[in-house]
């Protein structure tokens, strides 16, 4: 599948290189003794929750909460700091698939929720200081049928997509084997450099709210316990640098969340995904110079593709500044050992790494690819960036859920096995499990969760939920019961091996 993409902002596309000077290793001199809210995890989810709790608070009567964010490693060192940056929900396919699992009304809500991420993320990025094609006939025909359903049933999203037949698809994508393309307008498709967006957001929040937000990196939360009767707070969060008392605890910990909430382990598992960065062939167009097509309303920038080829989803995003390519995927290569993995320090398996190194010229065709480029970056550090076609290859851990929806919302005591002494004062919450599509799930999930928490702080209740927020994401017992716990997720896996 081919999808035309705008770039929200000219973010670079390399993994923590360089690391954010003010945020990557940030620590309080002394770990805070207490906080209204402890957020565990500093990726897109944790950052969105902190952002919306602090920035959307103005019109609310609740006081600005005191938030302590904990991160086991460097800031934003999980999936968000390792991803391809694609904000590209395949609305046509996802709507039809979601209807198989939930009601039509919920499926439509989820489809709109995901499509709204481009606007939401561009809006958020603009608040930061300045720096800051399907190629097989049947899948293509199926995608076109799905798009027709979407157009009929959710026209406000469906009308943002268009279909190009073979000749036009080949002409604009420079992929000789393309059989057709679905193109999304700038409203429903974009790209962002997750690491830079998140670390610059954290920097802005820490600068703007020094009394309300602390960030402690290299601080692993190892356990959460209910406090005794005399304690001032509901929970004690134990870390390797001391204990923090908190009224609310938020798990923004991706696939590691079941470490704290084992029941979620029946439906949420870690999967190792692989990603790579490439110079690209000298024959490929520079950003902004790709063949134009009707209805191309992209902002000037690189181009991006999702390709359903070779049995898995591959995706490519071109960096608008230097023309380099982020290429992720290889999911079609059978490596069952990638499921239930929680260690993202490992190198991709040989077959996947070889695929990532070699597949791009075969997508574009060697004629279009041209000669290999040799204009390596001036600041090349060969221990980190390789001098060759492939600049770097790495892994990240994604949180898969068995029904393909994230878990976002309040956790009942039945889930956590922890009695909450003073429910009016707080509780436990989760925002995790974005199924390899966090860029069009996690930001607005964080906004939704922050509204739920703020509402709880104002009314001491978890209700009501919001018109725009899909109830299908709530961590309910009924939802867990419906899931097939024998598929990928396992409660008995030790997820602490990476960071303890």
Ligand X SMILES: Cc1cc2nc3c(=O)[nH]c(=O)nc-3n(C[C@H](O)[C@H](O)[C@H](O)COP(=O)(O)OP(=O)(O)OC[C@H]3O[C@@H](n4cnc5c(N)ncnc54)[C@H](O)[C@@H]3O)c2cc1C
Residues near ligand X (CB under 6 A) are 40-46, 70-73, 77-80, 82-86, 194, 220-221, 252-254, 256, 273, 275, 315, 328, 396-398, 432, 434, 436-440, 442, 499
**Nearest residue (CB) to ligand X, 140 versus 434:** 434
- In degrees and rounded to multiples of 5, residue 300 shows phi and psi of -60, 140
Report the residue number, 400 or 415, with the smaller CB distance to ligand X. Answer: 400
Please report how the helices 44-55 and 442-459 are oriented relative to each other, as an axis angle in degrees rounded to 10.
40
Three-class DSSP category at 109: helix
What's the rounded Cα separation, in Å, for the pair 177 and 335? 26
Tokens of 209: 């709210």
**Residue 479 backbone dihedrals phi, psi, to 5 degrees:** -65, -45
* Backbone angles phi and psi of 213, in degrees to 5: -130, 130
51/499 with CB nearer ligand X: 499
Q: Which is nearer to ligand X, 180 or 406 (CB)?
A: 406
d(CA 17, CA 87): 21
Structure tokens at 81: 């700091």
Helices (H) and strands (E) in the chain, counts: 13, 18
Alpha-helical segments (H) within 190-322: 194-208
In the complex with ligand X, which residue's Cβ is closer, 179 or 206? Answer: 206
**Between residues 43 and 280, which has the closer beta carbon with respect to ligand X?**
43
Q: Which is nearer to ligand X, 13 or 170 (CB)?
A: 13
Closest distance between ligand X and the C-beta of residue 215, in Å? Answer: 11
Cβ proximity to ligand X: between 72 and 189 the closer is 72
Q: How many C-beta atoms lie closer than 10 Å to residue 310's C-beta? A: 18
Residue keyed to tokens 């190892």: 222
Min dist. Cβ of residue 345 to ligand X (A): 11
Question: How many Cβ atoms are within 10 Å of 286's Cβ, its own excluded?
Answer: 12
90: phi then psi, degrees, rounded to nearest 5: -85, 75
CB atoms closer than 10 angstroms to residue 285: 15
Distances (CA, A) of 218 to 74, 127, 237, 499: 6, 28, 15, 9
Residue 40, C-beta contacts closer than 8 angstroms, at least 6 positions apart: 46, 69, 70, 221, 237, 249, 250, 251, 252, 253, 260
Closer CB to ligand X, 78 or 280, in the complex: 78
Instruction: Name 480's Cβ contacts closer than 8 Å, sequence gap at least 6.
Output: 263, 264, 266, 267
Indicate the angle between helix axes 91-101 and 137-153, nearest 10 degrees: 70
Closer to ligand X by Cβ: residue 222 or 322: 222
User: What one-character-per-residue DSSP string does 79-115 give?
Assistant: GGGGS--EE---HHHHHHHHHHHS-HHHHHHHHHHHH
What does DSSP assign to residue 61?
S
Question: In this structure, what token pair is assigned to residue 329?
Answer: 């995927």
Our CB check for ligand X shows the closer of 256 and 405 to be 256
Q: Which of 110, 33, 116, 52 is nearest to 453 (CA)?
A: 52
Q: Which two tokens stand for residue 261?
A: 């909430």
Residue 276 and residue 329: Cα distance in Å, rounded?
9
- Name which of 48 and 183 has its Cβ closer to ligand X: 48
Q: Provide, rounded to whole angstroms, the least separation between the CB of residue 320 and ligand X.
A: 15
Q: How far is the CB of 466 from ligand X (least distance, A)?
A: 20
Nearer to ligand X, 151 or 302 (CB): 302
Q: How far is the CB of 144 from ligand X (least distance, A)?
A: 23
Give the whole-angstrom CA distance, residue 220 versus residue 235.
16
Cis peptide preceding 268, ω within 30 of 0: no
The nearest distance, CB 374 to ligand X, in angstroms, is 27
């Amino acid at each position: 599948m081919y999808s035309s993409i705008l770039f929200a902002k000219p973010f670079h596309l390399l993994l923590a290189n360089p690391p954010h000077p003010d945020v990557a290793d940030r620590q309080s001199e002394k770990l805070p003794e207490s906080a209204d809210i402890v957020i565990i995890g500093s990726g897109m989810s944790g950052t969105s929750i902190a952002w919306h709790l602090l920035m959307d608070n103005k019109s609310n009567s609740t006081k600005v909460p005191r938030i302590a964010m904990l991160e086991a490693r460097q800031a934003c060192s999980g999936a968000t700091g390792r991803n391809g940056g694609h904000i590209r929900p395949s609305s046509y396919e996802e709507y039809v698939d979601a209807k198989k699992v939930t009601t039509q009304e919920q499926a439509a809500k989820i489809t709109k929720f995901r499509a709204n991420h481009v606007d939401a993320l561009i809006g958020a990025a603009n608040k930061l200081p300045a720096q800051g094609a399907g190629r097989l006939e049947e899948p293509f025909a199926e995608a076109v049928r799905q798009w027709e359903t979407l157009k009929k049933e959710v026209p406000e999203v469906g009308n943002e997509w268009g279909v190009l037949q073979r000749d036009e698809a080949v002409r604009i994508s420079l992929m000789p084997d393309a059989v057709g393309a679905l193109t999304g307008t700038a409203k429903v498709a974009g790209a962002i450099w997750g690491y830079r967006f998140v670390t610059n957001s954290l920097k802005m929040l820490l600068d703007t709210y020094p009394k309300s937000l602390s960030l402690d990196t290299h601080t692993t939360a190892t356990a959460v316990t209910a406090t005794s009767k005399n304690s001032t707070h509901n929970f004690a969060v134990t870390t390797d640098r001391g204990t923090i008392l908190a009224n609310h605890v938020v798990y923004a910990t991706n696939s590691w969340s079941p470490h704290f909430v084992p029941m979620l382990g029946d439906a949420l598992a870690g999967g190792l995904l692989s990603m790579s960065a490439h110079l690209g062939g000298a024959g490929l167009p520079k950003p902004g110079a790709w063949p134009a097509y009707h209805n191309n309303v992209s902002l000037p920038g690189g181009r991006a593709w999702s390709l359903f080829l070779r049995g898995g989803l591959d995706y490519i995003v071109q960096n608008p500044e230097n023309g380099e390519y982020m290429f992720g995927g290889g999911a079609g290569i059978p490596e069952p050992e990638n499921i239930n993995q929680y260690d993202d320090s490992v190198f991709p398996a040989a077959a996947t790494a070889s695929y990532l190194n070699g597949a791009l010229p075969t997508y574009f065709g060697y004629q279009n690819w041209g000669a290999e480029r040799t204009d390596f970056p001036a600041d090349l550090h060969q221990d980190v960036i390789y001098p060759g076609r492939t600049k770097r290859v790495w892994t990240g851990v994604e949180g898969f859920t068995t029904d393909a929806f994230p878990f976002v919302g309040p956790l009942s005591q039945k889930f956590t096995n922890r009695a909450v002494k003073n429910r009016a004062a707080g509780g436990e919450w989760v925002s995790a499990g974005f199924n390899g599509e966090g860029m069009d799930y996690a930001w607005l999930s964080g906004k939704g969760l922050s509204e739920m928490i703020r509402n709880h702080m104002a009314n001491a209740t978890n209700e009501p939920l919001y018109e725009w927020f899909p109830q299908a994401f709530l961590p309910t017992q009924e939802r867990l019961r419906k899931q097939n716990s024998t598929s990928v997720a396992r409660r008995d896996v030790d997820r602490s091996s990476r960071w303890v």
